[in-house]
């Protein structure tokens, strides 16, 4: 047995409370190295009542296998160790490592792994509505111009290709005017990039955190927008840019003027005064002089920003926050941020912008989720670039799942493109078929999907600023098949609880096909994806006699317990499995 590969850590993504009664236990071993894993668990104060349960083989990646089990601890306390069988020999995995022999019973208490107690405040409780959400990301300056009276000077013609500093006149009134379109698409949550006062088109260099940018509208317009969204059953989250401000932020201007005599000098990371911008002699976001970094460890800065959070949540009744450059801000700030947000609205959604493994932020004391760029990376490689096979794709997805707890996976912000990336259609060599298959996976996979405005009609765009083109409102220029495809997918997701809240499980014995099951106690859905240029025939063993093709709304007969499906080139199936009596399985 490869002992070096074995890994487990209490109070991490390998041992955590899913709710007040259940703890999830995970174990990593070398690939195809262990035949069986037994969890021995009990209450450390009544160890004589311990139990044994076989762990389930759960998943795998390039190098490792993963086992997982849900257990209900005695008295909310859990002590445990593992017994592993490899080549018919038993090994014991305890807090002291791998042992060839069972620990002496007189010393067993010194060997336990422990989750000492499930305290309510340690449980990562998620906002339930997010599990049912399909998000739509809007870059307000490029969505729709609903009020020409607030346009910036010298705006471009709508539809021109954007340059870095161009303006087109999109505003909040324009979003109100197009809410019917958003609702008709099936969207029930919107994420807006920043809307506070700023001299840029993207608004990530904030001038005034408590003022709507005049070119976007005013407080009353935002209130009207949020209220109408709520009337339509649409949640709203705003972008919080707390890593840095704009260089025209009043406290920074005071520092420029007064140096160390400014009461705001320690609000920033000033290396030397007087202030210089080329290059900046102060900390910034990504060396951008117009974006001085805020010192969030400063109690005054912290109080100011948390007051901003309170103001917008109470004044406008928003439903959560997306957090810009979240990984460059100290953890203590985010812990206090979470407390402030959840004290105002318990089910507010907090999603950070972090592009990589984000576990330190996702253990229940900071964020609910992050923008799932690793998910996007896997989808790009498999669907857009087609430079990995099905097996590698599954391994990449499995890695993303085992980086986080189950409840985090259930609300992860899964995206294919955004205002910071080229459009998925461009990365797909403008092949709509590849985007269609990626969107099928996105909408049927575990987590919360987000559609970047225009992706659903085939809007193109390379890297920033080209990915921030204006929304196309001339329907004759839409890809109507793609638009209808998105509407149908979102409709299916809303109609079937297993596509929103069901367990996720690969079908691993399929060749050159992606297949997986989403399942609840009352519903089971099979998803099949053929990412190839030729037809694939699939035969799956099944104990039920009737299935329904949800895309075509047609019954599929199961003969001799075999479901036989023909998948056309770049085709997919979403199949509801039913019993003989037509009750949902």
Q: Which residues form the catalytic set?
A: 324, 353
CA dist., res. 481 & res. 436, Å (int):
10
Task: Tell me how many degrees the CA angle 446-447-448 measures, rounded to the nearest 5.
Answer: 140
Task: Tell me how many degrees the CA angle 372-373-379 measures, rounded to the nearest 5.
Answer: 105
CA dist., res. 519 & res. 523, Å (int):
6
Q: Give the position of tokens 């083109």.
A: 469
CA dist., res. 378 & res. 400, Å (int):
9
Tell me whether strands 89-94 and 78-86 are parallel, antiparallel or unpaired: antiparallel
Name the nearest CA neighbour of 121 among 330, 338, 313, 290.
338
**Measured on CA atoms in the order 38, 43, 46, 47, is the torsion positive or negative?**
positive
CA dist., res. 204 & res. 197, Å (int):
9
Residue length of the chain? 585
Q: What is the 3-state secondary structure (H, E, C) of 358-391?
A: CHHHCCCCCCCEEECHHHHHHHHHHHHCCCCCHH
- Concatenating the DSSP letter of every residue in 235-274 gives EEEEEE--SB--TTSHHHHHHHHHGGGSTTGGGB-BSSSS
């Amino acid at each position: 047995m490869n002992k070096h590969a074995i890994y487990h850590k209490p109070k991490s993504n390998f041992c955590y409370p899913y709710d007040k009664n259940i703890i999830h236990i995970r174990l990593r071993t070398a690939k195809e190295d262990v035949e069986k894993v037994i969890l021995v668990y009990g209450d450390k104060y009544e160890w004589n009542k311990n139990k044994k349960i076989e762990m389930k083989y759960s998943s795998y990646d390039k190098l490792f296998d993963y086992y997982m089990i849900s257990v209900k601890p005695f008295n909310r306390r859990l002590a445990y160790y593992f017994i592993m069988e490899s080549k018919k020999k038993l090994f014991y995995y305890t807090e002291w490592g791998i042992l060839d022999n069972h620990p002496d019973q007189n010393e067993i208490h010194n060997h336990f792994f422990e989750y000492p107690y499930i305290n309510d405040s340690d449980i990562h409780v998620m906002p339930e509505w997010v599990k049912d959400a399909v998000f739509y990301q809007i870059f307000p300056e490029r969505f729709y111009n609903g009020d020409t009276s607030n346009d910036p000077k010298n705006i471009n013609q709508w539809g021109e290709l954007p340059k870095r500093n161009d303006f087109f006149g999109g505003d909040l009134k324009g979003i109100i005017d197009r809410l019917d379109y958003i609702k008709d698409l099936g969207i029930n949550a919107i994420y807006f990039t920043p809307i506070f006062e700023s001299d840029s088109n993207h608004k990530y260099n904030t001038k005034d955190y408590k003022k709507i940018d005049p070119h976007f509208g005013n407080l009353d317009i935002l209130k009207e927008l949020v209220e109408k969204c709520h009337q339509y059953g649409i949640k709203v989250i705003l972008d919080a840019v707390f890593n840095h401000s704009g260089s025209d932020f009043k406290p920074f201007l005071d520092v420029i003027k007064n140096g160390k005599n400014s009461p705001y000098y320690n609000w920033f990371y000033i290396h030397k005064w007087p202030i210089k911008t080329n290059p900046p002699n102060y900390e910034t976001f990504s060396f951008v002089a117009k974006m001085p970094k805020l010192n969030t460890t400063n109690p005054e800065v912290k109080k100011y920003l948390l007051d901003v959070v309170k103001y917008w949540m109470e004044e406008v009744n928003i439903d959560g926050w997306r957090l810009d450059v979240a990984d460059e801000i100290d953890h203590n700030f985010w812990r206090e941020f979470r407390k402030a947000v959840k004290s105002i609205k318990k089910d507010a959604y907090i999603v950070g912008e972090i592009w990589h493994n984000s576990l330190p932020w996702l253990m229940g004391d900071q964020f609910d989720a992050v923008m799932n760029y690793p998910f996007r990376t896997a989808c790009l490689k498999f669907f857009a670039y087609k430079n990995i096979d099905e097996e590698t794709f599954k391994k990449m997805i499995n890695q993303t799942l085992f980086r986080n707890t189950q409840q985090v996976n259930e609300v992860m912000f899964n995206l294919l493109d955004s205002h910071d990336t080229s459009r998925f259609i461009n990365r797909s060599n403008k092949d709509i078929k590849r985007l269609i298959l990626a969107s099928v996976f996105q909408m049927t996979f575990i987590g919360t999907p987000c559609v970047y405005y225009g992706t659903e009609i085939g809007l193109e765009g390379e890297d920033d600023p080209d990915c921030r083109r204006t929304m196309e409102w001339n329907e004759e220029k839409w890809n109507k098949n793609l638009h209808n495809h998105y509407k149908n997918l979102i409709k299916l997701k809303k109609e079937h609880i297993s596509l929103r809240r069901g367990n996720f499980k690969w079908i691993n014995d399929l060749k050159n096909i992606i297949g997986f099951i989403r399942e609840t106690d009352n519903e089971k859905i099979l998803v099949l994806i053929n990412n190839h240029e030729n037809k694939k025939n699939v035969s799956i063993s099944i104990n039920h006699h009737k299935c329904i093709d949800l895309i075509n709304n047609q019954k599929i007969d199961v003969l001799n317990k075999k479901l036989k499906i023909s998948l056309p080139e770049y085709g997919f199936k979403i199949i509801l499995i039913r019993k003989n009596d037509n009750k949902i399985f």
